[in-house]
């Protein structure tokens, strides 16, 4: 079994749709500075919703709030449907680490039985050198060994700082066919924008992340295990928070997902 699937594995321990409790585990493979990598938390909550809703329903969006860092070890995930129509359902889920009284992460998700409609894409995939020509970024966190990132421009930690616009190729390592759960996890891969602005490391924490999934089954199949290009920028930071926006493209120019975050930080100066 792929390491990502091991790390997001869920066992149903009680309940039936639309209210179910799962058991899983926060593993060492997605460890971050404090608790697990946020993309893992969002992904395991998304997986709980998808598994409970059933195979006809596709994840359209998920908003994950990061209340605290879950400790490594067993977790429970409670998921329930707040309202379900024939084609659209509204879900919520919460992840609680063993021994904790409250949730470490909570999420709201929208799932739908999607249909063919008029379609369009604003803009196009930015030009970038192929991933094979880009050097892999290695970070001192365990999750960066499982999430492969190959920046193409504007590296962080540049003396004096610089713009927050950045491109990077991403995929899971070892390579794994793309699906909705993996796409949610990869949406949290961009290096914090603060490191671009200040040119140095600083304490940051994602407070909330929303992922909008545009990919169709054909898009997932076309990507397979290939790299995807993520373009990221921040509009404004100040008074302890900044926003972050990203778009994830396939190599052949399909827009797969858009995502945004609000991030806490405490850096008070710029070199």
Q: How many CB atoms lie within 10 A of CB 113?
A: 14
Assigned domain for 82 exists: yes
pLDDT at residue 144 in the model: 94
CATH code for position 62: 3.10.129.10
- DSSP-based three-state secondary structure for 181: helix
Assigned domain for 119 exists: no
Residue ranges making up the domain that contains 20: 3-112
DSSP symbol at 137 = P
Average pLDDT rounded to a whole number, residues 194-208: 93
- Confidence label for 221 from pLDDT (cuts 50, 70 and 90): very high
Q: For residue 135, is pLDDT > 90?
A: yes
Instruction: State pTM to two decimals.
Output: 0.96
Assigned domain for 168 exists: yes
- DSSP-based three-state secondary structure for 226: coil
pLDDT at residue 259 in the model: 98
Q: For residue 271, is pLDDT > 60?
A: no
CATH code for position 252: 2.40.160.210
CB 71 within 8 A of CB 97: yes
pLDDT at residue 152 in the model: 94
For residues 213 and 243, membership in a common domain is answered with: yes
């Amino acid at each position: 079994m792929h390491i990502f699937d091991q790390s997001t594995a869920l066992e149903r321990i009680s309940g039936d749709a639309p209210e179910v409790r799962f058991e899983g585990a926060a593993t060492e493979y997605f460890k971050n500075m404090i608790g697990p990598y946020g993309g893992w938390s969002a992904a395991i909550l998304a997986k709980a919703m998808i598994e409970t809703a059933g195979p006809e329903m596709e994840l359209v969006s998920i908003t994950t709030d990061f209340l605290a860092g879950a400790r490594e070890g067993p977790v429970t995930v409670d998921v329930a449907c707040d309202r379900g129509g024939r084609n659209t359902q509204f879900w919520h889920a919460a992840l609680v680490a063993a021994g904790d009284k409250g949730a470490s992460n909570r999420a709201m998700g929208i799932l739908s039985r999607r249909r063919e409609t008029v379609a369009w894409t604003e803009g196009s995939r930015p030009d970038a050198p192929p991933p094979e020509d880009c050097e892999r970024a290695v970070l001192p966190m365990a999750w960066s060994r499982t999430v492969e990132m190959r920046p193409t421009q504007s590296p962080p930690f540049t003396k004096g700082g610089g713009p927050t616009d950045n491109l990077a190729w991403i995929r899971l390592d070892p390579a794994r066919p793309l699906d909705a759960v993996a796409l949610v996890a990869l949406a949290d891969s961009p290096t914090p924008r603060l490191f671009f602005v200040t040119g140095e490391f600083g304490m940051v924490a994602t407070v909330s992340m929303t992922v909008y999934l545009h990919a169709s089954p054909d898009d997932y199949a076309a990507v397979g295990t290939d790299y995807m290009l993520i373009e990221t920028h921040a509009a404004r930071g100040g008074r302890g928070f900044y926003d972050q926006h990203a778009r994830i493209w396939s190599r052949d120019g399909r827009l797969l997902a858009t995502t945004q975050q609000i991030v806490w930080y405490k850096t008070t100066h710029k070199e």
